Structure 1
Amino acid sequence: MNRVSVSSCALRSTWRRFANWTALAGVVFLGGCDLAPTYHPVKLAYPDNWEGSGVFRFGRPDEAAPRKDWWTVFNDPQLNALEDQVARLNPDLQAEAEAFMQARDIAMQARSQLFPQISGGAGGEKEKSSAHRLWRAEGSTTPLYMSSEQYYGSATWEPDFWSSIRNKTRMAKEATQQLAADYALARLSIQSEVASDYIALRGFDAQDAVYRDSIAYYQQAVSITQLRLAGAISPGMDVARAQTQFYATQARETDVRAARDVLEHAIAVLVNKAPASFHIAPVDSYPFAPVQLPVVLPSELLQRRPDIASAERSMAQANRAIGVSRAAFYPHVTFNAMTGFMDHGFDLASLSNSMYQFGAQAVLPIFTAGLRRAELQRTWSQYRQSEDKYRSTVLGAFREVEDNLTLTSRLRTETTQASEAVNAALRTQRMSMALYTGGLTNYLDVVVAQQAALEARIILVQVQARQSDAEVQLVRAYGGGWSTGELPASDSSIMPFSPLQYNELDRSKPLAGISVDPVAGATDLGSNPVPPKH
């Protein structure tokens, strides 16, 4: 009989251990159940090379893409200084950095739901009731005063059986990576905008120099016609034509100066300066020669364009959202516990005044009239939409590269042709003035020759500026010097602080080369000091 009892106890003990291990294995299994589809980025066919033949060269492996400071190929110290200022001071770029930091905080919030949420509280109250309240008999000894003091701690935890929380956390991390790519895109856009504006400004300088030279020449022509009129050699119409040409050219020069001033104001805002306190000294000739750029192969473009990286990270988030929608079809389990002390006085530490509560809850939606299915179908549609946008972004990138390769090639040829036109027009201008001075032709021929020479010189400067701008846009189409290797890793390094950190929470530490500097956000208005660090 004793042997039977021992065997029965051993059997029950073994069964309990088996049940415990089975439950533990079930929890581990369910905790690793990821309902998101296996993510495979879209496979795209791309050409082996570019059709356009622009201003580029094939470099060694370490020169296979533009450098981070790609603008230095233009060899202009003023442009280098502007690019340095815009990277540190541009307020729009700082706002993009703050958006990236906020995404890191959102990722931290999503991950926090994987851990138990613990809270504590304490309270007390004292209450006096009326001696003549309803239902209180006369002469009753029921107390009029009541008091209660308590303190407690509670904890809730949701085991992530269906990876809903983990997928939300991964989505938040991927959103952080997307915003890092968006920051790189904003930085590249602003850098290229500064370069384009500066090139256009130097183009206006060169045009202004051409107009000033032409105005001086036309002033001499006015003097010649006036002398010939005084000697009764030429009619007054020649003087009127010469003056028309002179004043019209002055008006065109004024228009160019106005356009230059407006462009200078735009550059001032980009480098976080007040336009009234910002000035770029003009030059007398166009300073940029054609540059040689390294080539980026089509197969490398997907890794070098921040907008493509952003679109791909958006697609990865949409894939995770499907897993979150699928998890809504399964039971939602929550564990909770609470313990503490309560007393009508202050004897709270007594074991007899202790209290506790614990439990588990599982909620399974039975009938929601298609709510969960609609959400699941919507997330699948969003994923396909993100695929379409990704393909569109890639095709747009290929088009931008081809466009600017073609432009750099065509504009180089056009620059040579425009230079020849200038030489021919200047020769015609000199010969026509010599013939007019010798009395062998009328002044109308001189005016036509002067207009042709001026237009040819202005066109040459404009073509040179367009060629330099096309080179800037080609570098931008290549993605500048950026690559996907600069994206933050999708791990705990994205989190802005540790779960037990309670200091230095006013700003996140730099990550992936992105930082928020309070000094960089100050606008130089010429007199206002930079606010101090807090």
Structure 2
Amino acid sequence: MGRPAVLASAALTLVGCTMGPDYQRPEVTTPGVYRDGPDIPDAASIADQPWWEVFGDPALIALVDDALRNNYNLRAAIARIEQARGLRAQARSGLFPRLGYDSVVSRGRNEFLGVPAPNGGDTSTGGFVGLTAFWELDIWGRIRRSDEAALARMASFEEDRRAVMLSLVSEVAQLYFQLLGLDLQMEIARRSTASFAESLSLFERRARGGQDSELPSMRARAALAGAEITIPQVEIDIAITENAINVLLGRAPGPIDRPRALADQIVAPEVPVGLPSQLLERRPDVRLREQQMIAANAEVGVALANYFPRLSLTGILGGASPELTAIDGGAGSLWSIAAGLTGPIFEGGRLKGQEVAARARLEEAIANYQQSVLRALEDVSDAIITREKLVEVERGLVIAVDSLTTSVSMSTDRFLSGLSGYFEVLEAQQQLFPAEQALATTRTQKLLVLVQLYRALGGGWNLADEQWTSDGGTPPPEGEPEPK
């Protein structure tokens, strides 16, 4: 092998060197099954389904589609991706030579281009014009590690966008189901108010006829007032919930159309949850933490490379002459190729401080990643046990409501027959009202926990960005192409 080939090989070897550790995902132990989940694990998961198949209400689907197109938090997340894309382009630019131009014109005595230069006292007009080139050879991988860190940060903002999209779908769905639950609460409050009003009318007629004292009427009037004040309280909650949905949709507060009632919503009796290990690849918040970890790992390499010298090449091609008219002549032609080597000798602990800080940021990123995995497992397990126990609660409340409904009817008949007093009627009504409210709340919670489970499992993980809307129409706003 000739000497030029040996030198070229040595140069390539140097340029290929990269300081710092290569990224490896830290060990994270995940259980074989979720706590309170199925004993026999199954890879199938509700998170594999697009959200519009999980939440089948057409009105809800239209609301979520609007939110994905118009939500301002999502637009801000996309803007953060573009910022990261621009920063990555800046970091990557150091891998390539920089070309530019320069020109200077000056007039004076005993100077040339603004620098003292004796010329016998003559007054002259000189100039310089030329192309300039600069290239830092990335011997230690400082620029490549910087690019690696910038790329990982950009990827983390991509995951942030997906997290915002999943959060947006979940929040709109939860608020919508809460709204349906409030509609049911309003229906119960109005029905209970009408029931208490009938009892009051009955007691007042009996008091006027001398069959009873005013005491039953007073007790019934108090019960009626307690039921009536529930109505404006629910109306407040409905308006606030509608306003919150509209804000997520990027529009001013207003009413929300909801043709289907809470009872018309379909909840699957069995919901597959998949394997715990799948969360590492499906939860956008966990993936975001991993990208932050990759960036921090690369920044350790940048800090280590700063200890070593930097080799750069510079070049100039142009013309320079103390006489402006001769700048383009043969005597005024100018070219130069130079190599420079610069490096630290004493920095007062600055470089060591950079390394210590970079390694500490890596340790922080690793801890954040491991914590995010535990949080993901917790979210899924919480949703599983809540969903399971709500079924038991609903079963008990259905029995209670059915029994109390019968009790109200029987106690009223007994009162009219003179077999019991007014207190038995009021007590049955007063017990039925909160039992019906509790049942409505439980049925709402069953829908809410389904949304929570879908979100906890990283729902929509297999959807491309343009597939997040149900009709495949206008996707979430896209960023601009990567800068060159």
Aligned counterpart in structure 2 of residue 438 of structure 1, from 406, 412, 417: 417
Residue of structure 1 in register with 2:161 after alignment: 183
- Asked whether the 8 Å contact 2:45–2:271 carries over to 1, the reply is no
Q: Which amino acid aligns with 2:80?
A: A
Match of 1:3 in 2: none
- 1:77: how far off? 0.8
Q: What amino acid is the match of 1:43? A: E
Distance 1:514 1:432, change over 3 A: closer
1:300 is paired with a residue of what secondary structure?
A: helix
SS at match of 1:185: helix
The AA in structure 2 aligned to 1:310 is: L
DSSP 3-state at the match of 2:96: coil
The CA distance in 1 between the partners of 2:18 and 2:105, in whole Å, is 46
Residue 220 of structure 2 corresponds to residue 242 of structure 1: yes
Cα distance change on mapping 1:517 and 1:414 into 2, 3 Å: same
Query: d(CA) in 1 for partners of 2:127 and 2:358?
Result: 50
Which AA in structure 2 matches 1:182? Answer: D
- Please list the CA deviations of residues 399-443 of structure 1 after superposition, one character each: whole Å capped at 9, or x if unmatched: 111110000000011111111111011111111222222233222
Equivalent runs, 1:332-351 vs 2, <5 Å? 332-343=310-321, 344-351=323-330
Given that 2:177 and 2:448 are in contact with CA atoms closer than 8 Å, whether structure 1 keeps it comes out as yes
Note closer, same or farther for the CA distance 1:294–1:170 as it changes in structure 2 (3 Å cut). same
Any idea what the Cα deviations from partners look like across 1:149-186, whole Å, max 9, x if unmatched? 43221111100000110111111111111111111111
Please give the secondary structure, in 2, of the residue aligned with 1:351: coil
Matched residues, number: 460
Q: Does 1:96 align with 2:113?
A: no
Cα distance, 1:58 vs structure 2: 7.8
Task: Name 2:144's counterpart in structure 1.
Answer: 166
Corresponding letter in the other structure for 1:480 = G
Structure 1 residues 47-68: Cα deviation after superposition (integer angstroms, max 9, x where no partner): 11122148x9987x7x544245
Structure 2 unaligned runs (5+)?
Answer: 111-119, 466-474
Aligned AA (2:264)? P
- Segments of 5+ residues of structure 1 without an aligned counterpart are 1-13, 130-140, 488-512, 519-534
> Secondary structure, in 3 states, of the residue corresponding to 1:368?
coil
Residue 418 (str. 1) matches residue 404 (str. 2) = no
- Residues 219-253 of structure 1, C-alpha deviation per residue, up to 9 Å, x if partnerless? 22221112111111121121222222222211111
Question: Which whole-Å CA distance do the structure 1 matches of 2:70 and 2:92 have between them?
Answer: 33
1:474 aligns with 2:436: no
CA distance in 2, matches of 1:345, 1:378: 53
Equivalent in the alignment of 1:25: 9
CA contact (8 A) 2:300 2:358 kept: yes
**In structure 2, which of residues 229, 240, 245 is the aligned counterpart of residue 267 of structure 1?**
245
Residues 172-321 of structure 1: pairs in structure 2 closer than 5 A = 172-276=150-254, 278-281=255-258, 286-291=263-268, 292-321=270-299
Aligned residues of 1:302 and 1:394 also touching (Cα < 8 A): yes
CA contact 2:109–2:121 (8 Å) conserved in 1: no
- Partner-residue secondary structure (3-state), 2:478: coil
In structure 2, how many angstroms separate the alpha carbons of the residues matched to 1:207 and 1:91?
32
Q: Could you report, residue by residue, the CA deviation over 1:483-504 in whole angstroms, capped at 9, with x for unpaired residues?
A: 5x969xxxxxxxxxxxxxxxxx
Identity %: 27
Q: Determine the C-alpha separation between the residues in 2 that align with 1:84 and 1:274.
A: 17
What's the RMSD between the two structures over aligned residues?
2.6
1:120 matched residue in structure 2: 101
Cα distance 1:251–1:517, how it changes in 2: closer, same or farther (>3 A)? farther
- The residue that corresponds to 2:470 in the other structure is none
Q: State whether residues 264 and 280 of structure 1, in contact with CA within 8 Å, keep that contact through their aligned partners in structure 2.
A: no
Please give the TM-score of this superposition, normalised by the length of structure 2. Answer: 0.89
In structure 2, the partner of 1:504 is none
Partner Cα separation in structure 2 for residue 128 and residue 282 of structure 1: 89
Secondary structure of the residue aligned to 1:339 is strand
Q: Secondary structure at the match of 1:293?
A: coil
State whether residues 118 and 156 of structure 1, in contact with CA within 8 Å, keep that contact through their aligned partners in structure 2.
yes
State the TM-score, normalized to the length of structure 1. Answer: 0.81
